[in-house]
């Protein structure tokens, strides 16, 4: 069978099942339900019927599994799986294939007559996501999941080449979920993202986008609110320094410390913001950022104590620090204290901001063949990722991304970014420039600097 024939056969089966449960999709819903990709993300407006569409996507896919299948409904907590759970119970009952169902969802399960199992899971307990690999997963209110949970879910469907369907409403346009939406939009691989506007729910808004209630919301809301919460389209704040950063490209949950390989400490002792120490390794000409110490209000002495208690401390080779780290404050300069207490020499040089930024962007650029960048970050590095806008700040849960200065209309002002929410990013820049130089900047030749031997 050709791919087109397979899609037509699948669609005809889905249409039959939908007719049995009394469901007739709208054109927008049909685009989502007919998608044959393994990884699907739906960004829905408020009351767009995301849970209902998710349950119908499940119906269109569960017959693809030969024999009894195993499926998960996963959310930030059990109660958020309730809507999808109830829709599936009603649909399987209508199809006459419901064998057993629990009254509760914490946890809950649905068992079909062929032995297939649908189980609810809470991301609050990672142990529930480390069991037998499922054939498919519905991520319920997926925008409320953290990035670590997303990577776990993607890893859990890998053994069976299963599918993953994520649906949720944007809660602000920074973070892994809107980044993933943008990255999967129009992709030709195994991923695809869709917007499901509120007005696609014809039950609530019979006239669609022209419905008076929708037009009233548009008139009373800001453009950003309407785009995110009604249209289901991210509207990230203007001026992100690293707009190209993508969680599905630059974050890898398989990144771990490789024992007996040199570890490099790259740091920025940001006194008012964050004291950032990132741990890096150069493995097969690829930079792995496998851990960090990202704290606020701690002294250099306290940071040294934390780092020295890390299991990878024994492999620390050398490092870099902001040149200000050699300036004396009330007591010893931070770099001198690191040398006195650990014996680790920290290289330092004055880094030109924009050139350093371009150097980091060069390492973030994916290879045109493998689509893998030269620098990968482990999801445990929450402080570093928050500065790229991939997750909230670990200090207060708010969006604290590294940005350019902008005026009230969102236009970039000046030639350098705003000097805040960038301590881990600056640490990366110091380390990369110290180890590899600036590269090609404005037509200049590669600038040689001291390199560390492994």
User: Residue 173 has what pLDDT?
Assistant: 61
From the number of C-beta atoms within 10 Å of its C-beta (0-12, 13-18, 19+), residue 156 rates as: buried
Contact 381, 280 (CB under 8 A): no
User: Residue 188 has what pLDDT?
Assistant: 66
Strand partners, 281: 288
Residue with tokens 């705003």: 418
Cα–Cα distance measured from residue 148 to residue 153, given in angstroms and rounded to the nearest whole number: 9
User: Residue 124 has what pLDDT?
Assistant: 86
Contact 303, 295 (CB under 8 A): yes
Cα–Cα distance measured from residue 23 to residue 56, given in angstroms and rounded to the nearest whole number: 9
User: Residue 73 has what pLDDT?
Assistant: 97
Cα–Cα distance measured from residue 426 to residue 275, given in angstroms and rounded to the nearest whole number: 11
- The pLDDT tens digits for 152-200 are 999 999 999 999 999 998 876 678 898 888 889 876 689 999 999 999 8
Cα–Cα–Cα angle for 153, 155, 159, rounded to 5 degrees: 120
User: Residue 314 has what pLDDT?
Assistant: 97
SS3 content of the chain, % helix, strand, coil (to 5): 40, 20, 40
Determine phi and psi for 137, rounding to 5 degrees. Answer: -135, 135
Cα–Cα distance measured from residue 279 to residue 362, given in angstroms and rounded to the nearest whole number: 19
Q: Which structural domains are found in the chain, ordered by start? A: 3-236 (3.40.50.300), 248-436 (3.30.420.280)
User: Residue 453 has what pLDDT?
Assistant: 37
Displacement of CA 34 from its chain's centroid (Å): 25
Taking 50 as the pLDDT cut, the residues of the chain under it are: 1-9, 440-454
Q: Which of 107, 146, 114, 152 is nearest to 134 (CA)?
A: 152
Cα–Cα distance measured from residue 212 to residue 228, given in angstroms and rounded to the nearest whole number: 19
User: Residue 9 has what pLDDT?
Assistant: 46
Average pLDDT score, the chain: 88
Strand locations in 173-274 (E): 191-196, 263-269
- The pLDDT tens digits for 29-56 are 999 999 999 999 999 888 889 999 999 9
């Amino acid at each position: 069978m050709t791919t087109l024939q397979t899609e037509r056969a699948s669609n005809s089966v889905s249409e039959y099942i939908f007719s049995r449960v009394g469901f007739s999709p709208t054109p927008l819903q049909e685009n989502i339900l007919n998608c044959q990709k393994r990884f699907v993300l739906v960004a829905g407006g408020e009351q767009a019927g995301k849970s209902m569409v998710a349950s119908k996507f499940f119906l269109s896919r569960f017959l693809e599994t030969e024999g009894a299948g195993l499926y998960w409904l996963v959310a930030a907590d059990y109660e958020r799986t309730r809507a999808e759970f109830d829709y599936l119970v009603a649909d399987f009952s209508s199809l006459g294939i419901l064998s057993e169902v629990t009254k509760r969802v914490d946890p809950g399960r649905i068992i079909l007559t062929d032995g297939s199992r649908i189980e609810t899971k809470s991301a609050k307990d990672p142990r529930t996501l480390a069991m037998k690999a499922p054939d498919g997963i519905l991520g319920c209110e997926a925008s409320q999941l953290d990035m670590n949970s997303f990577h776990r879910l993607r890893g859990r469907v890998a053994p069976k080449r299963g599918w993953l369907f994520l649906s949720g409403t944007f809660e602000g346009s920074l973070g892994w979920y809107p980044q993933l939406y943008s990255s999967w939009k129009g992709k030709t691989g195994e991923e695809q993202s869709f917007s499901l506007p509120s007005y696609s729910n014809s039950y609530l808004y019979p006239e669609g986008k022209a419905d008076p209630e929708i037009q009233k919301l548009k008139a009373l809301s800001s453009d950003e609110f309407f785009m995110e919460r009604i249209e289901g389209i991210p509207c990230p704040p203007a001026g992100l320094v690293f707009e190209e950063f993508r969680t599905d490209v630059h974050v890898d949950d398989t990144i771990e410390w490789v024992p007996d390989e040199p570890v490099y400490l790259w740091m920025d002792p940001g006194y008012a913001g964050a004291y950032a120490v990132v741990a890096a390794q150069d493995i097969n000409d690829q930079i792995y950022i496998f851990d960090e110490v990202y704290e606020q209000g701690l002294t250099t002495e306290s940071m040294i104590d934390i780092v020295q208690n890390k299991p990878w401390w024994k492999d620390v080779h050398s490092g870099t620090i902001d040149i200000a780290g050699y300036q004396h404050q009330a007591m010893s300069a931070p770099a001198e204290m690191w040398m006195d207490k650990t014996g680790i020499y920290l290289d330092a040089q004055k880094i030109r901001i924009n050139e350093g930024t371009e150097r980091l962007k060069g390492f973030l650029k994916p290879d045109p063949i493998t689509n893998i960048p030269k620098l990968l970050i482990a999801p445990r590095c929450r402080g570093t990722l928050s500065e790229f806008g991939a997750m909230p700040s670990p200090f207060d849960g708010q969006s604290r991304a590294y940005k350019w200065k902008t005026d009230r209309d969102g236009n970039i002002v000046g030639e350098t970014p705003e000097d805040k929410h960038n301590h881990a990013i600056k640490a990366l820049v110091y380390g990369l420039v110290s180890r590899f130089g600036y590269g090609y900047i404005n037509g200049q030749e590669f600038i040689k600097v001291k390199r560390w031997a492994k």
